Amino acid sequence: MLVDALRGFHGLGRPVTNESKSFPRRSDNGALMRFIYLLILLVVLAAVVVFAVQNNEAVTLRYLDRSLSSTLPVLIAVVYVLGMLTGWTVVGFLRRSFRRVTERREH
């Protein structure tokens, strides 16, 4: 059923058309949601800037016999970017695996 939903079919086997979609069309509601998302983004960004300004101290990171000194916000940003890269890699592997499994079922 998940594969059918991803292909654009309802559970009854009929194709999804504009008339059969259950969600409302995008109108002024979409502009309101974009504005709300912008406000949330600005609040989070402000919190990150306040954190970075208040915690701008030198920190030494030690791992095995190596050490690295940098400010705390820079180290947190580097760890965040590394986490994003590994997350994208895992998502890519899962998508490829899902695609291979669905292709095998079709043949």
Q: Which two tokens stand for residue 48?
A: 């990150």
- In this structure, the dihedral spanned by the alpha carbons of residues 76, 80, 86 and 88, taken in order and rounded to 10 degrees, is -170
**Alpha-carbon span 63 to 59, nearest angstrom:** 13
pLDDT number for residue 22? 54
Tell me, what amino acid is at 32? L
**Alpha-carbon span 48 to 106, nearest angstrom:** 47
pLDDT number for residue 1? 45
List pLDDT tens digits, range 7-53.
554 445 555 555 545 555 555 678 889 999 999 999 999 998 898 88
List pLDDT tens digits, range 47-104.
988 988 898 889 898 989 999 899 988 888 898 999 999 999 998 888 888 888 887 7
- Phi, psi (rounded to 5 degrees) for 63: -140, 120
- What global pTM score does this model have? 0.52
Q: How do the domains of the chain map onto residue ranges?
A: 38-107
Q: Where are the beta strands (DSSP E) in 13-77?
A: 58-63, 66-71
